[in-house]
Amino acid sequence: MPDSLPTNSKIVAAYRERTLKSAELAATAREMFPSGITHDSRHTAPYGIYVDHAKGSRKWDVDGNEYVDYFGGHGALILGHNHEGVIAAGHHQLDKGTHFGASHPAEVEWGELVKDMVPCAERVRFTSSGTEANLMAFRLARAFTGKSKLVRFVCHFHGWQDHVAFGAKGGVPDGPVPGVLDGIIENVVLIEPGNEDLMRETLSSRDDIAGVILEPTGASFGQIPVTREFVAALRDATTENGTLLLFDEVVTGFRVSPGGAQGHYGITPDLTSLAKILSGGLPGGAVCGRADILELLDFEVAEKKGFQKIGHQGTYNANPMSAIAGVAALKEIRFGGICERASENGAKIRNQMNKMFSEENVPWAAFGDHSAWYVYTNPEGQDIDPMSFDGYAETFEHMSHSGSHPAARKLRLAMLVNGVDITSKPGGTVMAAHTDEDIDITVEAMRQSVRMLREEGDI
């Protein structure tokens, strides 16, 4: 069993009682998969739920329990589970074939949508995941500038490949990182996000930086937010220093606005990584950006200009199923008011939850922007008013420790017991498919959960 929880907890007992089939599957999985899981974020004590099916804003586990879902396919499903248009497109494509080992019409339509919607996208190259998109973005940045170093911000998450396998949970490595070459660690400069002086000093004091990458609304989709002013300053500083600016819009792309965070801010990076919503809930990713950078992948240009092309393969790049689902999703998002609706839902949850925290006299606050909501669990016991809490005004230390409150793990189980699946941050990503009824259920589940935690002495 992963990290044990108190055996006398009524919350844990209630969770176990209603998830017997999940427990059985977890026990079998433990014999096969390290920790019994296939994604680190599913590491849950005593075990996670096993889901059977989903629809719209809801999902049902193998024991028949229904949940309002705030994972939304790790942020991929802004339209909700099994969106009609995406499913119809997928069925149609399944009948035609899933892989042709050749170019196909849907990839062209998909690329055109990306080019039309994402401001920086003069050229597009599809990959199979966000991790791969970032890997290619780094390679492009190094090849284009001829420089070696990559600047990242502590706590910003960019996938699991070697360059980003450290620092995403905080801290700068002061020794080896298991399995990662020292040379890679030495070529990544990790700095605190949101600190404009430090950022400017880092860029101006060296001439070996190929690119700076960030999640443009802040770490974990704004759980540790950065301001538009910081991002604008970063745009200026990177331009002044001959360094490329890379937006990781794997989450924010097609979510913050149809043109992503860059469309919302009116700040255009040199390169952007996309995934998740991009392919309508199927696997996929893309790197897009300036034509003069992406031409490093172009056979004809390389031959004409006499440079060594960057190689890029990938069995599932722009595969027909992902392409067709992506086309259906992006068409819906482009003019459908989807991003606005998801953001409005996010604001409703945050407001209603803060009213409830005030009523219940809980020293926590719901915060976030756009279609995100997070709970500031106030681990250091500050004197805060939920209704006026401002995540932007908090220190980086406070914000990065918010998820580490001892009650956070039990909160997740309590919410499940009350019919809502939230992430361990704690919080969630909101879909356009969430309804007012879902939001009422969520706030009421949080009310019951904080009462349960209070009864067990956790708050």
Q: Which segment (109-117, 128-136, 397-405, 422-430) binds ligand PLP by CB under 6 A?
A: 128-136
Q: Which segment (130-138, 142-150, 174-182, 289-297) binds ligand PLP by CB under 6 A?
A: 130-138
Q: Which segment (22-30, 245-253, 348-356, 426-434) binds ligand PLP by CB under 6 A?
A: 245-253
Of 152, 138, 103, nearest to 271 by C-alpha is 138
The label of the residue with tokens 């892989």 reads 99
Q: Which segment (44-52, 114-122, 126-134, 187-195) binds ligand PLP by CB under 6 A?
A: 126-134
Q: x/- string (CB under 6 A) for ligand PLP, residues 68-107?
A: ------x---------------------------------
Closest distance between ligand PLP and the C-beta of residue 240, in Å?
26
Pairing of strands 58-61, 66-69: antiparallel
Q: How far apart are CA 226 and CA 219, in angstroms?
A: 8
Closest distance between ligand PLP and the C-beta of residue 249, in Å?
8
Pairing of strands 244-248, 271-275: parallel
Closest distance between ligand PLP and the C-beta of residue 397, in Å?
22
Question: Which residue's beta carbon is nearest to the bound ligand PLP?
Answer: 130
**Which residues between 188 and 217 bind ligand PLP (CB under 6 A)?**
215
Measure the CA angle with vertex 339, ends 333 and 341; round to 5°. Answer: 115
**Residue-by-residue DSSP string for 149-182:** EEEEETT----SSGGGSSSTTS---SS--TTS-H
Closest distance between ligand PLP and the C-beta of residue 208, in Å?
24
Q: Is residue 158 within the footprint of ligand PLP (CB under 6 A)?
A: yes
Q: Which of 19, 57, 65, 129 binds ligand PLP (CB under 6 A)?
A: 129
Q: How far apart are CA 263 and CA 365, in angstroms?
A: 29
Q: Cβ neighbours of residue 402 under 8 Å, at least 6 residues apart?
A: 223, 374, 375, 376, 377, 378, 379, 425
Pairing of strands 149-153, 188-191: parallel
Size of the site for ligand PLP (CB under 6 A): 14
Residue 21: exposed, middle, or buried by beta-carbon count in 10 A (0-12, 13-18, 19+)? middle
Q: Roughly how many angstroms between the first and final C-alpha of the chain, as a whole number?
A: 25
**Which residues between 398 and 427 bind ligand PLP (CB under 6 A)?**
none
Q: Which segment (125-133, 317-325, 378-386, 407-415) binds ligand PLP by CB under 6 A?
A: 125-133
**Which residues between 36 and 75 bind ligand PLP (CB under 6 A)?**
74
Q: Which of 251, 271, 274, 433 binds ligand PLP (CB under 6 A)?
A: 251
Q: Is residue 248 within the footprint of ligand PLP (CB under 6 A)?
A: yes
Closest distance between ligand PLP and the C-beta of residue 57, in Å?
20
Tokens of 368: 């976030």
**Residue-by-residue DSSP string for 56-103:** BTEEEETT--EEEESSTTTTT-TT-BT-HHHHHHHHHHHHH-S--SS-
Q: Which segment (137-145, 243-251, 328-336, 432-440) binds ligand PLP by CB under 6 A?
A: 243-251
Of the pair 141, 251, the CB lying nearest ligand PLP is at 251
Tokens of 452: 């349960």
Q: Which segment (248-256, 260-268, 360-368, 406-414) binds ligand PLP by CB under 6 A?
A: 248-256
Q: Which of 120, 209, 212, 250 binds ligand PLP (CB under 6 A)?
A: 250
Q: What is the chain's percent helix, strand, coil content, to nearest 5?
A: 45, 15, 40
Q: Cβ neighbours of residue 431 under 8 Å, at least 6 residues apart?
A: 57, 69, 72, 77, 78, 79, 80, 342, 345, 371
Of the pair 244, 250, the CB lying nearest ligand PLP is at 250
Q: Is residue 130 within the footprint of ligand PLP (CB under 6 A)?
A: yes
Tokens of 383: 């004197």
Of the pair 278, 414, the CB lying nearest ligand PLP is at 278
Closest distance between ligand PLP and the C-beta of residue 204, in Å?
27
Of the pair 74, 355, the CB lying nearest ligand PLP is at 74
Residue 303: exposed, middle, or buried by beta-carbon count in 10 A (0-12, 13-18, 19+)? exposed
Residue length of the chain: 459
Closest distance between ligand PLP and the C-beta of residue 264, in Å?
16
Closest distance between ligand PLP and the C-beta of residue 284, in Å?
8
Closest distance between ligand PLP and the C-beta of residue 96, in Å?
25
Of the pair 280, 285, the CB lying nearest ligand PLP is at 285
Q: Is residue 131 within the footprint of ligand PLP (CB under 6 A)?
A: yes
Interface positions with ligand PLP (CB under 6 A): 74, 129-131, 134, 157-159, 215, 248, 250-251, 275, 285
